[in-house]
Structure formats: C-alpha cells, structure tokens
C-alpha cells in the first residue's frame, strides 16, 4: 500500500489554496455537519452516541474514547453550573507538530469540531489554549473565529438556531506541563501550571471548579467528518480498536520529514519508507520513537509494528501523539536520552519529589555515561530510578514520560550503554558528545 492508496480526509482541505479562509472552507463541505445538526434538530445525546459508536479515541496522547469522555459531563438539567470545553493546543511533546498544521491550514475545521462538541455537551463557552510560541497558528485561528462570528457560525443563536456558543483564544507561555490537562486548567486560571491531583476529574471539577472537558485539537478536528459521514465510514479506516486516520509527524533522520495522514494500524515501516522516503542518506535504521518523546526508543527490528494503541502497548510503548522520531546508525541513543531527560527535568513542575529529583538524577547519570565517566552500576541505577518515579507515583504523568524512555533505553540499548562505560567515552564517532548542561543545576549528586 502506498501513501496515496488509502482514503484521506484530515488533510484534504489543507492542500487547497487559501484553505484557511471561510470561503474555501465552506465550498469544501465546511460547517455542513454543524448545519445539519442544527437544521434537523439532532439531540446532543444523539451526537454523543454517534461519536461513541464511531470509536474515536483522543489524539492528545492517552487515546481515551472521546464519546465516553463527553458522556461523563453531568446532566445539564440537574447540574446547572457553567460548563466548559477546553481545547488543548499546547502541543509541546518533543517530535509533535501536527495540531499546528491543522490550526494553520484549516482553522475552521477545528472551530466546527469545537462547536459540535459544545452542542453535544451543552457547553456555551470554549477556550483554545495555544502554546505561546505558535504565533502564526494563533493568528490563523483567531482570524477564523472572527470570520465565523461575522457569518453567525459563532456567538448568539448560531445559524438562527437556539444554540449559542463562544470560543475564546488563550495564549500559554512555554511550559510543557501546561499540556497536561489539569496543569492546563490551572494555567488558564492565571496560575502556575501545577497539575491537580485526580480525582476530582475535570468533568465534575474542572476550570474554575466547573464541569469541563479537555480535548486535543486533532480529536475535535475528526468530529465534523464523523457527523457528516457516519460511524460506519469512520470504522472502515484504521483498526477495530483504533479506528480512523491519524496524523503522524515523522522527524529526525529521514529523507522527507513531514506530517502525514495515515490509517491507524499502518506499519511504522510503511510510514518510514512510503511517506518519509526512508532513512536518509541511504543509512541504516538504529532506533525509532513511535509516538513522541514519552513513548521511548524501539530497536530497528521492531519497525514492522503497527501504529495503533494495542500493538504499541504490547511492545511496552505507546501510540502517544503519533510523532515518529527516526535515529540512523550514526546517532547515539544515550545522547538522545540525555536530551530527553534534560527536557523533562526542565519541564517538571516540581510538586512531586519523585519527578523533580528523579529527572535531575536521570540527567546526571546519562550525562556522565555519555561523557565517559559512567559506571556499570549506573545501568541498573537508571532502571531503579525510573521504577521509583512511575507508574502512578506522582500527581501527573510527566514522571512516566521520563521513566518510559529510560526503561526502553536500558531494555533495548543496553549494549550501547555498556560500551560507553567500557570505553570511557561515547563510542559513536559522529556524535557531538554530551548534551548541553541542564538550565537548572541539580541539587544533589547521585552516586551508584
């Protein structure tokens, strides 16, 4: 199967000239699903049932069933509190840059998804939390919101119906932790992005303590297509448990890096070979990351794995954000892990000691191994540290995000770690050596 041979929908409109404008959007079926719902008077419950039946799963990393999440919102007749939809456009997981494409090239598709979600959950206000660095994406979505408002697709009595809804843009300020849904809500409230203990869950106690649903950009982007074309159509793509198409951002050592739309369940090899043109410069594959930095390193021998939730879970990894990162034979996995660890150290909010200290220690150990000062005991120390951090030992999953790749390195690239220690230097000739020191200096030195 080649890239062209499967049906697509997510990126179709983005290839059109001026795809970001309302005019082009509407000429290409845009807002048709919303119009149908409002004109034909579909009930919110019908919409939620359809999304449930489609099997759509969240694209923000955890793969939670979207219809089920929506159904957790309390009954609006009994619970009269204000309620919110929060759109997670923080996109900061290293390797991930797919929501950006949707926001920049088809912002109205996102707006329609938001409106349908709000209709289904009887929500009247949505916030799009965009990472602060995404200026262009922010401007595109903001302009689209204005266009939609002028066309009565947004605001009071949308398209003459009884449905009213507002969408507000909100700018983050560069903290990865604000992609975690409760950290995001704290940040949106104007505070430090400290994740909240769960329970209570956002559906009961979210933004300002009110019922809230948090969804990823790509998740919501799928919604109008499902409404328009049906659950059966949706399930004709992808696998039984992971239906639909997904955007895969593939980066690193490939000929043609990019964001590609593929059916879930496609083999990683196909994405690498057919979409991205294979490993660059005719080199061999050494390691790959399937779904963003948190999902860990897999060896070249596993490139045949299917890109879906179950297959990657069985390989002790995750689909995550679907961001594949490719490392060729000249890359050093220890250096790459050191970079990731430094990232998690920098981004830890500091509330939980396992995460705050653990990420610092991991970075220190990886740094000394890459620097040729590692000891054999460090390998087990890495594993035991990672086991002390996750799973389920901290308020949020940032600690897991650091622990999973650490375990994967020791599991699959033990030889490379050992060679660093044995030789007393990085054995990869082309590697630039240890990564830059972390911005914060560790408080304690870890000894084996």
Partner 1 sequence: MHEVTHETRNNLPPTLVAEFTELCTHYPERRAALIPALHRCQEELGGWLSPETLEAVAGFFELEPVEVFGVASFYPMFHLRPRGKHLVSVCHNISCDLRGAQDILDEACKASGCTPGGTSDDGRFTLVRVECQGACTSAPMLALDGVYHEGITPEDVHRILGGVQ
Ligand X SMILES: Cc1cc2nc3c(=O)[nH]c(=O)nc-3n(C[C@H](O)[C@H](O)[C@H](O)COP(=O)(O)O)c2cc1C
Please confirm whether the linkage preceding 6 is cis (ω < 30° from 0): no
Q: Does 180 bind ligand X (CB under 6 A)?
A: yes
Helix axis angle, 377-389 to 398-412, nearest 10°? 150
Closest approach, Cβ 294 to partner 1, in A, equals 12
Task: Provide DSSP, 81-141.
Answer: S--EEEEEE---STT--SHHHHHHH-HHHHHHHHHHHHHHHT--EEEEEE-TT-HHHHHHH
Which positions from 245 to 274 touch ligand X by CB under 6 A, shown as an x/- string? ------------------------------
Footprint on residues 87-126 left by ligand X (CB under 6 A):
88, 90-93
Which CB sits closer to ligand X, 292 or 374? 292
Q: Edge-to-edge strands of the sheet including 166-171? A: 166-171, 125-130, 84-89, 212-216
Choice from 123, 214, 223, 254 touching ligand X (CB under 6 A): 214
Contacts of 317 by beta carbon, 8 Å cutoff, 6+ apart = 290, 291, 295, 296, 298, 404, 408
- Is-contact 57 65, C-beta < 8 A? yes
Q: Edge-to-edge strands of the sheet including 323-328? A: 258-263, 245-252, 323-328, 285-289, 298-299
Which positions from 358 to 397 touch partner 1 by CB under 8 A, shown as an x/- string? ----------------------------------------
Q: Which does 173 bind (CB under 5 to 8 A by kind): partner 1, ligand X, none?
A: partner 1
Q: Does 259 bind partner 1 (CB under 8 A)?
A: yes
Q: Which does 307 bind (CB under 5 to 8 A by kind): partner 1, ligand X, none?
A: none
> Residue 235: helix, strand or coil by DSSP?
helix
d(CA 127, CA 235): 29
Choice from 116, 226, 325, 389 touching partner 1 (CB under 8 A): 325
Strand duo 84-89 + 258-263: pairing: unpaired
Q: Does 216 bind ligand X (CB under 6 A)?
A: yes
- Is-contact 312 61, C-beta < 8 A? no
Cα-based distances in Å from 195 to 55, 88, 394, 440: 28, 14, 10, 21
Q: Does 33 bind partner 1 (CB under 8 A)?
A: no
Q: Does 258 bind partner 1 (CB under 8 A)?
A: yes
Cα-based distances in Å from 353 to 39, 365, 402: 54, 17, 14
- Is-contact 110 142, C-beta < 8 A? no
Which CB sits closer to ligand X, 217 or 381? 217
Choice from 173, 197, 380, 414 touching partner 1 (CB under 8 A): 173
Q: Which does 354 bind (CB under 5 to 8 A by kind): ligand X, partner 1, none?
A: none
Q: Which stretch binds partner 1 (CB under 8 A): 11-19, 54-62, 333-341, 383-391?
A: 333-341
Q: Does 257 bind partner 1 (CB under 8 A)?
A: yes
Q: What residues line the site for ligand X (CB under 6 A)?
A: 58-62, 64, 69, 88, 90-93, 177, 179-181, 214-216, 219, 396-398, 401
Q: What residues line the site for partner 1 (CB under 8 A)?
A: 82, 91-97, 100, 131-136, 168, 170-176, 187-193, 208, 249-253, 257-259, 289, 293, 323, 325-327, 331, 335-336, 339-340, 343, 346-347, 349, 432, 435-436, 439
């Amino acid at each position: 199967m080649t890239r062209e041979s499967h049906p697509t929908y997510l990126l179709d409109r983005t290839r059109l000239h001026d795809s970001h404008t309302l005019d082009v959007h509407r000429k290409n079926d845009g807002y048709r699903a919303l119009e149908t719902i409002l004109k034909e008077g579909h009930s919110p419950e019908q919409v939620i049932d359809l999304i449930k039946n489609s099997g759509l799963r969240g694209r923000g990393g955890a793969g939670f069933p979207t219809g089920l999440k929506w159904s957790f919102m309390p009954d609006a007749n009994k619970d009269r509190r204000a309620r919110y939809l929060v759109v997670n456009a923080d996109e900061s997981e290293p390797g991930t840059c797919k929501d950006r494409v949707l926001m920049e090239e088809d912002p109205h598709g996102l707006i329609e998804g938001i409106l349908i979600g709000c209709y289904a959950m009887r929500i009247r206000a949505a916030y799009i939390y965009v990472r602060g660095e995404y200026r262009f994406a922010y401007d595109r979505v903001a302009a689209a919101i204005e266009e939609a408002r002028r066309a009565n697709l947004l605001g009071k009595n949308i398209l003459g119906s009884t449905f009213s809804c507002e969408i507000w843009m909100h700018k983050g300020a560069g903290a990865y932790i604000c992609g975690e849904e409760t950290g995001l809500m704290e940040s949106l409230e104007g505070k430090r992005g400290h994740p909240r203990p769960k329970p209570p869950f956002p559906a009961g106690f979210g933004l300002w303590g009110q019922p809230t649903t948090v969804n990823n950009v790509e998740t919501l982007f799928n919604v109008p297509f499902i409404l328009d074309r049906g659950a059966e159509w949706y399930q004709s793509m992808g696998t039984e448990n992971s239906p639909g198409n997904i955007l895969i951002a593939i980066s690193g050592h490939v000929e043609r890096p990019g964001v590609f739309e593929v059916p879930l369940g496609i083999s990683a090899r196909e994405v690498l070979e057919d979409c991205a043109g294979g490993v660059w410069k005719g080199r061999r594959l050494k390691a790959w990351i399937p779904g963003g930095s948190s999902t860990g390193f897999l060896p070249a021998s596993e490139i045949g794995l299917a890109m879906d939730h179950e297959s990657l879970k069985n390989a002790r990894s995750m689909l995550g954000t679907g961001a594949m990162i490719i490392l060729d034979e000249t890359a050093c996995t220890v250096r790459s892990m050191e970079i990731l660890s430094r990232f998690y150290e920098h981004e830890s909010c500091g509330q939980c000691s396992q995460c705050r200290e653990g990420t610092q220690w991991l970075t220190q150990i990886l740094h000394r191994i890459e620097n040729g000062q590692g000891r054999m005991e460090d390998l087990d120390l890495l594993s035991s540290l990672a086991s002390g951090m996750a799973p389920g030992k901290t308020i949020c999953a940032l600690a897991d995000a650091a622990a999973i790749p650490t375990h994967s390195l020791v599991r699959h690239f033990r030889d490379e770690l050992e060679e660093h220690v044995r030789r007393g230097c990085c054995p990869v000739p082309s590697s630039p050596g240890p990564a830059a020191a972390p911005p914060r200096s560790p408080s304690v030195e870890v000894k084996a």
